[in-house]
Every structure is written in structure tokens, then in C-alpha cells.
Amino acid sequence: MSLFSGCGGLDLGFRGAFDFGGTHYARLPFDIVWANEIRPAACNTYRINLRHAIRQGDVDDHLPDLPASANIVTGGFPCQDVSINGTRASENGHRTILYKRMVDAVRTLRPLAFVAENVKGLMMSHGRPFFEQMLADFDLPGYSVNYHLYRASDYGVPQIRERIFIVGLRGGEHFQHPQPIGHTMTAEEALQDLEELDETPAISHVWSKAKASPDQGSRRLVAAKPATTIRAEHHGNVQWHYRLPRRISLREAARLQSFPDRFVFTSGMRETERQIGNAVPPVLAWHIANTLREHLDTRAV
């Protein structure tokens, strides 16, 4: 069961069966039984790529129609209220408290496990008290809950993106988060074959023409390093290419988020930027899902 599904990055990782950066990420034994997202354009992208129904609308309107059962509940609930680049409103932010809807779903369905994703800002001083409350709310009777701060570049994603994952297991020991894979993919490795390609709308290889602006708007990728965090903002805050005199394209941003090239975006530029930037990198999600699969298989034996 998938809450706050966005365009499907987390769900694609849980399903597997995709290729990225020369690696095949095998099909995992997880199937989607229920998904929800509020943004219509993101739902359209989800349906096209995941080939599964998704309920569009406010989560409060759809929670009364939960599935009869689910083994796993996942969710990347909205994070802007505690993001370093956001409002830092924490518990006063109307979006971030939506994590409680995920708690409600877990309490109702009693899944074998749940996986919640959010920003590093929860661990910083402005978000820490709220984070402690969140952990307490997720610590439901019968569950062992822990969290880990992941750097996506440690797991085959060509991006230095730090995110917290909270994992709860029904009964038993704490979840053992996967270890880094030992190879860091650089921006150049991920994007080199697109350098000489002209704008190609058919594959979303189009880019913002916004001129350089102060601070965030002047960031340039470094060829020999992973990209800086791909954000959900648009035009003037999109990173500049490490070598070319332009900002990175939508397809390049999707690559830096570890979306396979077969993943299609049909929205306009701003909405697509939002979908890509808000997504959980599928490759990172796959590593977490695969480790969860291994744990559940072992427990079943």
C-alpha cells in the first residue's frame, strides 16, 4: 500500500525489474494493491509508468477505503515544512503532519512492515522535537521501529541526496538497513551520452533557459562527483551542466534521480521538475526493498 506516491519512484524501487547505469535491478516480490497521490499530473505519470491504478485526491478522502490487507505500507509524506530549503515550520506545517495518516493506515492494517521517507531536516535542531514526536507516533504496539539517514550516492544513485527512512517491523528485531554498495556514480558517468544531444522533447531532454541567478540558481555540477540534490523547484534553481553552458535537462535530472530512461514524463516542464525532485530515487528504494525482502524471507523460514 502506497501513500503520497508522487510519480512512483518509491513504488518502482519496490517492484524492481528496471535498468539503470548498466545495472539490472531485479523484480522483487512486491505488488501494489492501493496507491494515493493528490497531484493529478503525478498520478498520470504514475499510471503510465507503473501501469497501475492510483487514487487521485486528498489522502483524508481516500483513507476510508483502505484495502482489506497489505503486507507493506510505504509513504514519502510531504516534507517541505521541515526541509532546509523550506519553511521549517515543523509541527506547525500543515503538510508535514500528514505522516499521521500513514500512522493511521499502519494502525488499521497491521502490515508486516512499513517504510516512511522524509528529509534530513527532521534531524536538525529546528525539526528534532517534531521528529521525536513522529518516531513516538510510529512506535505502535507490536512494532520494532528504527531509522537511518541515507546518502543516495552510497547506493548507486549519482546524487548526494540525504534522506531519512523510518522502518517498522511487526514483532522481532529492528530492521538492518542495507550497507553502501561501494561504488559512487559521478554526474559525468550518468549524463555523458546526452552531452551532444540536441533538445529532444520525446524523451524529456529539454531544459530551462533561465539565466544565472544568485545562490541556488548558480550551482554547477562537478563532472567527477555525484550531483547535488535535485530539488522540486524549477527554472531558476535547476543546476547547471558540469560542462555545457546550459542547465540540466529534465531527462538528465531524472537520470540523476536514477529513473530508467524508459520512465516517461508527459507533463510540462514545471510539473515534471516537481515530480522528479519530489521523488524517492528508485535505485535507493530498490536496495531498501530488497533488504526488507531478505528479512521477511528469513523470518518466514
Catalytic residues: 79
Cβ atoms within 10 Å, residue 196: 7
User: What Cα–Cα distance (Å) separates residue 203 from each residue in 70, 176, 179, 182, 266?
Assistant: 35, 38, 33, 31, 9
The two beta strands, 36-37 and 55-56, are parallel
Q: How far apart are CA 301 and CA 291, in angstroms?
A: 16
Using left for φ > 0, alpha for ψ between -120 and 50, and beta otherwise, residue 258 falls in: left
CA distance 218 to 221: 10
For residue 187, which of 249, 232, 145, 127 has the smallest C-alpha distance?
Answer: 249
Q: Which of 10, 2, 57, 4 is nearest to 258 (CA)?
A: 10
What is the CB neighbour count within 10 angstroms for residue 162? Answer: 17
